[in-house]
Amino acid sequence: MVRDSYIYDYVRTPFGRYGQSLADTRPDDLAALVLGELARRHPELSLEAIDDVILGAANGAGEDNRNVARMGSLLAGFPTSVPGTTVNRLCGSGMEATIQASRAIESGDARVVLSGGVESMSRAPWVMQKPRKGFPAADAILHSTTIGWRMSNPAMDPHWTVPLGETAEILADRYGISRDEQDEFAVRSHQRATAAWTNGTFRKQIVAVPGTVLSVDEGIRPNTTLDTLRGLKPVFKIGGSVTAGNSSPLTDGAAALLIAGEDADLGDPIARIVSRGVAANDPDIFGIAPVKAANRALARAGLTWADVDFVELNEAFAAQALSCIRLWDGLDPDKLNVDGGAIAMGHPLGASGARIIGQLARKLEANGGGIGVAAICIGVGQGLAVVLER
């Protein structure tokens, strides 16, 4: 018998900029913090009753220690009987983790699952290929694991392995998105995120990171204006339009959700997970993959964009987000990212998918009900989407 899955709670850290306030905090400690906070908020939940912990992480090469979900659970003081697994769908990892949690609940394989994601882009290590034999005579190359391609297969189509920022330039050219449009979108993201923090929208969502003074998302710049953004130079293409100001910054952070069925005795749920969608396209235009993913999720729910009240789309780049808006037939752009997005808050890869699902659920709660869509683009040409209802 298929059951419904629900979001009962959501928590995250403030997101810290690369190399700044959270740079001294290990990713497994960030994971432990949000998992432990969910447990603290729900004393009625026996820790032994947690059937699984599923976290997303895009790296895994360093202090994530391959399976940061298990490491974080142990560090949070969970019983050793609580399993944990880590999934990697790059930028969509936190959403993939929550999708897998919802499927486990709906299939009856689990009753309570903690999902989410974590990333410390500041602490991502450098890696190198193993030499064929000891004491090689040639120089060794260190590759950064912070973001993007490394050690790519030479057989891969070179059009697919262009840097992520160049893919945003491709979309800007393809869909006629001007520099001013991108900068205006970025300004809106900062303004809306600033307003959300000021009016207490995120108060229920945030847990402070011990040993830091970070109380808000570090990437938000309340004084951002169109004039200041116009002064920035393109960084990915000579004469291009994509700048550091209209792109999401490298970020550290973690987010977690409590997922269960309606019989879990955890109080009133925030929102129901209605449907999911996954899609893929050419890697060099990965930014528009959420379009098909969200359309599929809505179709599976028997809904259209006219039924949707709020949309959370991860803002990897303004050009990417604006391309999706162009292609979603029937979407009201004013319903998208009403409390700001990743251009302001930041994009800790493994955590972002969980952040936008949780933020959407809380928005539906504050609204007293409605339908929402959370969608995210994923490097190498994939997209994920989830439909929520309250």
Query: 368 in helix, strand or coil?
Result: coil
**159 among known catalytic residues:** no
Q: Which of 42, 143, 324, 377 is catalytic?
A: 377
**324 among known catalytic residues:** no
Rounded to 5 degrees, what are φ and ψ at 112?
-140, 130
Beta strands in 57-208 (DSSP E): 84-87, 112-120, 126-127, 143-144
Q: Which of 210, 151, 160 is nearest to 21 (CA)?
A: 210
- Measured CA to CA, the distance from residue 196 to residue 68 in angstroms comes to 30
Query: 127 in helix, strand or coil?
Result: strand
- Cα distances (Å, whole numbers) of residue 231 to 14, 147, 234, 337: 28, 26, 10, 25
**190 among known catalytic residues:** no
Beta strands in the chain (DSSP E): 5-12, 16-17, 52-56, 84-87, 112-120, 126-127, 143-144, 251-260, 271-280, 310-313, 371-378, 382-389
The DSSP call for residue 137 is: S
Alpha helices (H) along 147-281: 164-174, 179-198, 226-230
Q: Which of 91, 159, 190, 324 is catalytic?
A: 91
Residues catalogued as catalytic: 91, 347, 377
